[in-house]
Amino acid sequence: MSTITLPREKLEWSLLGLRLGVFIVMIMWAIDKFIDPDHAAVVFKVFYSLPGLSNGIAYLIGVLQLALIVSFLVGFKQRWVTLVILIMHLGSTLVSFGRYLDPWSGSNLLFFAAWPMLAAILALYLLREYDNKFTIGK
């Protein structure tokens, strides 16, 4: 394995940028469950084959997501929290597979944004020992 030299400060700022970017997307998904729980119900029905999601369950999922996302943002238990975020996003990316096969239909093209976000989360997981900027875990 070869080694590269990189100024630690630049790496830490870059990883913080990735972490903030992922957080912004995920916080919007969590907030959506409170603002429009009916939308969450449609998403769970269409993509996860779970019909009849009540507002209360949508709110509970939103609370759990908020706790996870804030933990991710502040670097709490990075190994496990980032892994859970990675698995969650991998699942949501793969469950949308049919949308990638017909990219120019409706708003399917927007689903392709999931792939670079997945790559960003993977990078954050693999480089978590260097992701120290503004974290409580270090």
Q: What is the mean pLDDT of each run of 10 residues along the chain (138 residues)?
A: 84 97 97 96 92 93 97 96 97 94 92 96 96 84
135 within a domain of the structure (yes/no): no
92 within a domain of the structure (yes/no): yes
115 within a domain of the structure (yes/no): yes
85 within a domain of the structure (yes/no): yes
For residue 128, give every residue at least 6 positions away whose Cβ sits within 8 Å of its Cβ, in sequence order, or none.
Answer: 78, 79, 82
134 within a domain of the structure (yes/no): no
6 within a domain of the structure (yes/no): no
| Domain count across the chain | 1
- Domain boundaries, position 23: 11-129
Q: What is the pLDDT of residue 138?
A: 59
136 within a domain of the structure (yes/no): no
Q: Cα separation of 92 and 87, whole Å? A: 9
What's the whole-model pTM score? 0.91
Q: What is the pLDDT of residue 137?
A: 64
5 within a domain of the structure (yes/no): no
Instruction: Give the containing element (helix H, strand E) for 27.
Output: helix 8-35
